Amino acid sequence: MTNDFTAVAGAVLRRNLIHAFKNPALLIPSAVFPLLFFTAFAGGLSNVANVPGFDFSSGYTAFQFVFVFLQSAAFGGVFTGFAVAADFESGFGRRLLLGAPQRKGIIAGYIVAAFARWLFTATIVTVAALIVGMQVDGNAAQLLGLVSLALLANATACLWGTGVALRFQTLQAGPVMQIPVFLILFMAPVYVPLHLIQGWVNTAASYNPATALLEAGRGFLSGQPEVSGLAYLAGFGLVALGVVWGLTGLRRAERGE
Amino acid sequence: MTSTLEQVGLVARRSVRRTMRQPALIVPTLVFPLFLLAVNSSGLSSATKLPGFPADSYLDFAITVAFMQGALFAAITAGTELATDIQSGFLNRLQLTPLRRAAILVGQVAGATTLALIGALVYLAVGLIAGVDVKSGVGGAIVLLLYAVFIAIAFSGIGAAMGARTGSPEAVQGVFPLIFAVFFLSSMSMPRDLISIDWFRTVATWNPASYLVEGLRSLVITGWDGTALWRGLAVGVAVLVLSFWVASRALATRMART
């Protein structure tokens, strides 16, 4: 049973990584987009750090890096959802369901593939941030905390995308995978700390779980952890919901719905 | 034999109908720029407190970005539709008719242009309801709409050029992020003189997209600024001429090949 699970997950992981890393059209956008956001936000908006009330001690580059880091993790998960949809659209997904002795292993394989693909992007974004002089004040444990939050975001988005892909089984469902993730991410304190956001977006951001992940991540990077417990609670809660969403999607696909 | 104008009308009618029958094209074009406008104007409202910021409200400053995003969607729509016609063999069948190449090209962007016009009207209406103060008045608001549609036509030429060259809707969609990148590296979110990172300010100064945004923006936050307007117009004309020239050449090559 465990061996079947691991074997299926391993096979799905291997296939996904080969497909992703041998196909520049898939790999390049996932790496370029976060860099683009980082350049635009940390470069173009750097003067926002001079706004009265902006109190992030590690500077605007670090402030934006955490958003881009978490965003790249979430979109890495969504891109894996695209891969699942493409597999089903081409008919490979149905054959995979027939051939796999432990079908939950399929979802596990896609999740680990999403991790691996994101690690590539995360490395590029981190190196770019360090080259432009990002200030890192957190210690090694705190930086691991930041990475763990990103992995939770990555797993949540991957499970969301996979659940959608298993239900619709077509790449045309791409916007359904992307748009909610995009909305949740941008309804968080992207440009300035929460207390500087005005209007209804402030209210929305206050209840948004992504806000806790973002604030905790920024706390880790600046060496002044805050709302970490809430962030992990939100992160694991989202992953739990994602597991339910993914597994019910798998059941539907098995029944041929 | 119909005149070129009549031929444009025939192709344009089909293009407009096809675009207007696709809610999946219309809804994102209307909703996405407005969502980003709402998020950015709330999130960056404190940026107006920076010394030298040229507007009292970030909503006033940022509303023209929605028009530019509408133009980008127009580019993608025009490119995707032309590429779909190539892929499905419709262009080959058109070649059996006496339609001129110019009529095909100009008519094909009509759907995208109409979508951009609807988008511009919606952005302006929502902006005015939300409290945007157009400093150049009613006349300026009309010029703003015309300017936005002009930029959308110019960008449709880029989409058409990509569509004609690749003949693949997926490839057109794939190039979209690159155009998006050009906008991100402009003065879209911050006036150039307030960009504190030197290399970014240099890139934004050399980036033609900055002048398109600044031309549109001047009508809202400054009033009638001749310099900003002519610079934006000059960039727009250059994009229009170049993109339609490339699209025309690409279409000629493709038609000769088939």
Write the DSSP assignment of A49-74 as a string of letters: GGSTT---TT-HHHHHHHHHHHHHHH
Q: Which domain holds residue A133?
A: 2-255
Give the closest-approach CA distance of A243 to chain B in angstroms.
29
* A167 pLDDT above the threshold of 60: yes
d(CA B160, CA A210): 39
Closest CA in chain B for residue A49 = B47
Query: d(Cα A202, Cα B155) in Å, to the nearest integer?
Result: 35
Q: Average pLDDT, stretch B133-140?
A: 94
Can you say whether the dihedral through the CA atoms of B100, B103, B109, B110 is positive or negative? negative
Chain A hits for B39, CB-CB cut-off 8 Å, are: 186-187, 190, 201
Is the model's pLDDT at B257 over the cut of 70?
Answer: no
pLDDT digits (tens, 9 = 90+) for A188-202: 999 999 999 988 889
**Residue B168 structure tokens:** 């693949």
What radius of gyration, in Å, describes the C-alpha atoms of chain A?
Answer: 19
State the pLDDT at residue A113: 93
How close is the nearest chain B Cα to the Cα of A36, in Å? 7
Spell out which residues of chain B touch residue A204, defining contact as CB-CB under 8 Å.
none
pLDDT at B17 exceeding the cut of 70: yes
Distance CA B62, CA B119 (A): 16
Averaged pLDDT for residues A78-102 = 88
The number of C-alpha atoms within 13 Å of A240 and in the hemisphere containing its C-beta is 6
Tokens representing B207 are 């980036």
CB contact under 8 A, A192 and B43: yes
Residues A157, A160, A161: CA angle, nearest 5 degrees? 85
Query: How confident is the prediction for chain A on average, in pLDDT?
Result: 91
Q: State how far residue A130 is from chain B, nearest Cα, in angstroms.
A: 16
Q: Determine contact, residues B17/B61, Cβ cutoff 8 Å.
A: no
pLDDT tens track for B180-229: 778 888 999 899 999 988 889 999 999 999 999 999 999 999 999 999 99
Set of chain B residues whose Cβ sits within 8 Å of the Cβ of A50: 50, 196
Q: What is the mean pLDDT of residues B168-183?
A: 76
Please compute the mean of the pLDDT values over residues A168-172 and round it to a whole number.
81
Can you give the pLDDT at residue A29?
Answer: 74
Q: What percent of chain B has pLDDT over 70?
A: 98
The one-character DSSP state at A40 is I
Distance from CA of A100 to the nearest CA of B (A): 31
Query: Taking 60 as the threshold, does the pLDDT of residue A154 lie above it?
Result: yes
Say if B29 is an interface residue toward chain A (CB within 8 Å). Answer: no
pLDDT at B1 over 60: no
- Choosing among B29, B39, B48, which should be mutated to test the A contact, i.e. which has the most A CBs within 10 A? B39
Cβ within 8 Å, pair B42-A186: no
Interface contact A33-B44, CB threshold 8 A: no
How far apart (Å, rounded) are the C-alpha atoms in residues A156 and B224? 49
Phi-psi region of B137 (alpha: psi -120 to 50; beta: other; left: phi over 0): left
- Which domain, by its residues, includes B36? 4-257
Per the CB < 8 A criterion, the answer to whether A205 and A211 are in contact is yes
Overall number of domains in chain A: 1
Residue A174 has pLDDT above 90, yes or no: no
CA A210 to chain centre: 11
Which range scores top for mean pLDDT: B2-16, B25-39, B88-102, B149-163? Answer: B149-163
Asked if B42 and B130 touch (Cβ cutoff 8 Å), the reply is no
Specify the higher pLDDT residue, B121 or B173.
B121
Distance of residue A233 Cα from the nearest chain B Cα, in angstroms: 25
How many distinct structural domains can be found in chain B? 1
Locate tokens 């809430």: which residue? A230
Q: Which of B186, B164, B179, B160 is nearest to B240 (CA)?
A: B160
pLDDT at A153: 97
Q: Which of residues 173-202 of A touch B (CB under 8 A)?
A: 175, 183, 186-187, 189-192, 196-202
The per-residue pLDDT for A43 is 85
All residues of chain B having their beta carbon less than 8 Å from the beta carbon of residue A44 are 184-185, 187-190, 195, 197, 200, 204
Residues A120-131 have a mean pLDDT of: 94
- Predicted ipTM? 0.75
Instruction: Determine the longest span between alpha carbons in chain A, in angstroms.
Output: 61
| B40 Cβ under 8 Å from any chain A Cβ | yes
Number of helices followed by number of strands (H, E) in chain A: 10, 0
Q: Return the closest-CA partner of residue A185 out of A26, A77, A25.
A: A77
Which residues fall within 8 angstroms of residue A121, CB to CB, at 6 or more apart? A30, A31, A34, A72, A76
Q: Is the model's pLDDT at A183 over the cut of 80?
A: yes
Between positions 182 and 211 of B, the ones with CB within 8 A of A are 184-185, 187-190, 194-197, 199-200, 204
Measured from the Cβ of residue A195, the count of other Cβ atoms closer than 10 Å reads 12
The per-residue pLDDT for range A25-51, each reduced to its tens digit, is: 677 777 888 888 898 888 888 889 999
CB B102 within 8 A of CB B153: no
